[in-house]
Amino acid sequence: MRKLRKTNPGKRKRDRRATHKKLAAQTSLMMKHPTECCVCAQSFKRTHETVKTWRVTIVEERVRLTCPSCSATISEVLTP
């Protein structure tokens, strides 16, 4: 009886490891986030409310933290 599909466990394992490594790298960058807004320099104090409202953006190796007012302004400018 023939198999319906080929399985390649080695490739899946390599892909899973690469994804895990990328996720670990991004997680470590999240822990090194700045302590103020990158636009207006408003200080970031870690509370339940600020964690929900502030925006963290990771592009390659650069971590940016923006306050709610600055992120709203950025969204208005970027959306046509």
Predicted TM-score (pTM) of this structure: 0.56
3 state DSSP class of 2: coil
Structural domain span for residue 63: 34-80
Per-residue pLDDT of the chain (80 residues; tens, 9 = 90+): 566 666 677 888 899 999 999 888 878 877 777 788 888 888 888 888 888 888 888 777 788 888 988 888 888 887 76
Residue 59 lies in a domain: yes
Q: How far apart are CA 6 and CA 65, in angstroms?
A: 45
Place of tokens 């870690």: 46
Both structure tokens of 72: 């709203």
Q: How many domains does the chain have?
A: 1
5 domain-assigned: no
Contact predicate 33/56, CB 8 Å = yes
Residue 57 lies in a domain: yes
Residues 6+ apart with CB under 8 A from 33: 56, 63, 65
Q: What is the pLDDT of residue 5?
A: 66
The answer to the question of residue 3 being in a domain is: no
The pLDDT of residue 18 = 94
Does any domain span residue 74?
A: yes
